[in-house]
Structure 1
Amino acid sequence: MIGRRVLLAGGAAVLAAPARAETPHRIVAVGGAVTECVFALGVGDRVVAVDSTSRFPAAVRGLPQIGYMRALAPEGLISLNADMMLLSADAGPAQALAVLRAAGAPIRSIPEVPTGDGIAAKIRAVADALEVDGRPVADTVLADWQSLDAPIAALRPVRTIFVLSASRGAPLVSGAGTLAAAMLAAGGAQNVVSGYNGYRPLSAEAAAQIAPEAVVIMDHVLQEIGGIDALLAVPALAVTPVVRTRRVLAIDGSYVLSFGPRAAHARRDLAMLLHPGAPLPALPARAWT
């Protein structure tokens, strides 16, 4: 076994983690926003592996992949000999995290709060774990985010639904308590799906009642469905005003929904898709965008 050993304790196999160095130099980043934070803080060269949701910046594409953040395998993680594992609070499953903690793995859970203050807190949490100064990046991202608050609040909210998938008939749409719902609100949209948290199929009857003006969907999902015509042919969407307006807004999910260092710019881009020509302030290009 490379870089790890198996200890028997109480009849169960427990993975032994490597000793923690004073300053982390071998970092595993789990969660797209977490990975972006590491690179924005200038220590991306220390990252030795990332999960499949980590797609930015381009440098991550050549790094070893550990799989999906909600389906982590503890043995594979331990074998990387990391001296810091930065895990999104959404990472899992719980059993895998329990094994890692029992092994003494150097885990730091990073909070996921989809607000301007939450993004700044996320950046600071990553910086604290890596023993670097996160205030310049966190403060700049928060200032950019807040500069959009009043201009977007002055816009008429667009009645919108977020479609996660539609390949099996009824589209799966976002209710409350999701990153999609949070970004829709931040971008000047009214999520007209209400009454539940998470994602559920949308019936034609419910779609006709809520009458969305626009559909937001991830670009790769729209492509898999077969494009706008195929999407609007789905019975639940065929009864909505979107059939006439064709306001289907394709987004890069890893950009718009990550709530990381690029979040303020993503918020503005989404708001401009929803409100073409809106007088929103331009945001300066940042080193991490």
Structure 2
Amino acid sequence: MLAMTLSRRALLAFAALSLVAGPVAAQEIKPVDTSRLVTVGGAVTEIVFALGYGDKVIARDITSFYPDEVNRLPSIGYMRALSPEGVLSVNPSAILLIQGSGPKETIDVLSKASVPLAFIPEGYDRNALVAKIKAVGKALGADTKADELAAKVAADVDSAVTDASKIEEAKRKRVLFVMTVQNGKIMAAGEHTAAHGIIALAGGINATSDFHGYKPLNDEAVINAKPDVILLMDTGGQTVSEADILANPAVALTPAGQAKKVIRLGGSALLFGPRTGDAIRKVYEKLYGG
């Protein structure tokens, strides 16, 4: 079993959230045997529990750590480094996986096994969130419950973005999301990431939207991003401290660095699951003072 701290798991969960386009997104989802479920992907696991099927989950991946009772379940590893032996060893009746789970070799082996797989499409906006919830519901044979949850979550997101949508373009804050700092280089979020999606919904502008996924930035790229705010993920282990990020020479030359404007948000809330509305509100309040 893979032992890992909460901060490390949260970091891996968030790092995994860059949209991966592929054929699995287009596969038809059919109802599966829910007696012994394995869930892969933090949002997928959270949705399964929100739909009332948490007692059917026998194992999950390490990016799944909400709600708290999930942490009492065995882990089958990291969603992008799964082994077929580890997954099949818990004798699942079905496996629900977020799009982008892998590696491909493992998915190929699992696809040939007798255990049904349900690939749940990933995405980082309101409509993608609704589609994700409904896809999980389809796999569980719980369409009605999923429709109700999707409507509730969508309404919550709509309510959360009300104030943010009124902010004039010229007044929107430029936000640099910092995942980690390694060897002095900032790992930042581009487009097709959960960070980008939350920043946009909260009325901000992703200062590094000229690339996809997460990538390290050189000093010139950090300075040219001209962020008004630095957004850090609070993983419980304080992966990047405010003092460390402000001490970065490139950050010090940005508007955010000069104003010492750094905010922190809990990473587990940024998985584009049922709590997305709350995450939007928190980011908006931190950006614009509520």
Normalising by structure 2, what TM-score?
0.83
1:261 to 269, 274, 286: 274
User: Hey, what does 1:101 align to over in structure 2?
Assistant: 111
Deviations 1:85-117 (A, max 9, x none): 000012111110011001232110001111111
3-state SS of 1:82 partner: coil
When the two chains are superposed, the root-mean-square deviation of aligned CA atoms in Å is 1.9
User: Hey, what does 2:235 align to over in structure 1?
Assistant: 220
Deviations 1:114-153 (A, max 9, x none): 1111111111111111112311111100111112334211
Unaligned runs of 5+ in 1: 1-20, 278-289
1:50 aligns with 2:63: no
Deviations 1:236-283 (A, max 9, x none): 212112223222111111212x00111111111111111113xxxxxx
Q: CA deviation at 1:221?
A: 8.4
1:128 to 115, 138, 149: 138
How many residues are aligned here? 256
User: Hey, what does 1:194 align to over in structure 2?
Assistant: 209
1:208 to 194, 211, 223: 223
User: Hey, what does 2:28 align to over in structure 1?
Assistant: none
User: Hey, what does 1:72 align to over in structure 2?
Assistant: 82
For 2:65 and 2:202, how far apart are their aligned partners in 1? 22
Runs of 4+ in 1 over 4 A off after TM superposition: none
User: Hey, what does 1:181 align to over in structure 2?
Assistant: 196
1:140 aligns with 2:155: no
1:162 aligns with 2:174: no
User: Hey, what does 1:276 align to over in structure 2?
Assistant: 289
Higher helix share: 2
- Tell which structure's C-alpha radius of gyration is larger: 1
- The answer as to whether partners of 1:208 and 1:240 remain within 8 angstroms in 2 is yes
Identify if the C-alpha distance between structure 1 residues 23 and 103 changes in structure 2 by more than 3 Å, giving closer, same or farther: closer
> Which fold has the larger relative contact order, with Cα–Cα distance below 8 Å and residues 6 or more apart in sequence?
2
For 2:194 and 2:74, how far apart are their aligned partners in 1? 26
User: Hey, what does 1:84 align to over in structure 2?
Assistant: 94
User: Hey, what does 2:164 align to over in structure 1?
Assistant: 152
- The answer as to whether partners of 1:170 and 1:235 remain within 8 angstroms in 2 is no
For 2:89 and 2:239, how far apart are their aligned partners in 1? 35
- The answer as to whether partners of 1:31 and 1:87 remain within 8 angstroms in 2 is yes
1:230 to 234, 239, 244: 244
User: Hey, what does 2:39 align to over in structure 1?
Assistant: 29
User: Hey, what does 2:49 align to over in structure 1?
Assistant: 39
Percent pairwise identity? 39
- The answer as to whether partners of 1:183 and 1:267 remain within 8 angstroms in 2 is yes
Normalising by structure 1, what TM-score?
0.84
